[in-house]
Amino acid sequence: MTDYSEYNDLMLLQEIKKGDKLAFAALFHKYSRFLKLEAYYRLRDTELAEEVVNDVFYNVWMMRLDIHIKFSFKQYLFRSVKNKCVCRKRSMKSHKNVMNHVKEIETDIDHGFDPGIMENKELGQQIIDAIAHIANPKSKRAFELQFIHNKSPKEIAELMNLDPSNVRQMISRALKIVRPLLKKYW
């Protein structure tokens, strides 16, 4: 078993490129705490910060053969966390916009929703059509539970017997499908 404590980041990266999981674990152990602090500073949510850091390290492992570092791997990791946080914030903003549209539709539903007589029947039909484009049944169900039934990811995870991070990923994938279809309404 190799002792990676004497390895610098670029040496660790070379070992990771060879598929060495212990080198990857050493890199994760070296930076994960600091990266989580950085992500928390940007997102103000412990769970999201941890998810962002895990996503960054997942991408490092999956893209390990394509990573070319010229200067500092530490800077690469922190920049990746920063970019992922920016994307998360943007996604959360879009999520809020969709939630507002869904709440408007729910109000119409509570007051006898009928797409034929709805004030903005085109929007209602577009949302129904957009949801129909979600191919994965679990993603579709998670999306509907969150946006139509106002369930939290934790509640959805319990209902669907899934991990909350999987639920967030499914909803994120569903949003990537729905968002372009509804873009003209925001």
Q: What gap in Å lies between CA 136 and CA 141, rounded to an integer?
A: 9
Could you tell me the two tokens for 50?
A: 């941890």
Q: Coil, helix or strand for 133? A: coil
- The pLDDT of residue 16 is 92
* Better-scored residue on pLDDT, 20 or 102: 20
pLDDT score of 105: 56
Mean pLDDT of 162-184: 84
Beta carbons of 140 and 171 less than 8 angstroms apart: no
The whole-chain average pLDDT of the chain stands at 80
What's the pLDDT score for residue 181? 79
pTM of the predicted model as reported, rounded to 2 decimal places: 0.51
Could you please report the per-residue DSSP string of 11-78? Answer: HHHHHHHTT-HHHHHHHHHHHHHHHHHHHHHHH--HHHHHHHHHHHHHHHHHTTTT---SS-HHHHHH
* 124-165 tens-digit pLDDT: 677 777 888 888 888 888 888 887 777 888 888 888 888 888
Instruction: Identify the pLDDT of residue 118.
Output: 45
Signed CA dihedral, 40, 50, 10, 5: sign only: positive
- Residue 47 pLDDT > 80: yes
Per-residue pLDDT at 175:
85
pLDDT above 50 for 116: no
Q: Which domains does the chain have, with CATH numbers?
A: 4-88 (1.10.1740.10), 114-185 (1.10.10.10)
Give the SS3 label for residue 118.
coil
pLDDT at 117 over 50: no
Which residues does 68 contact at the CB level (< 8 Å), separation at least 6? none
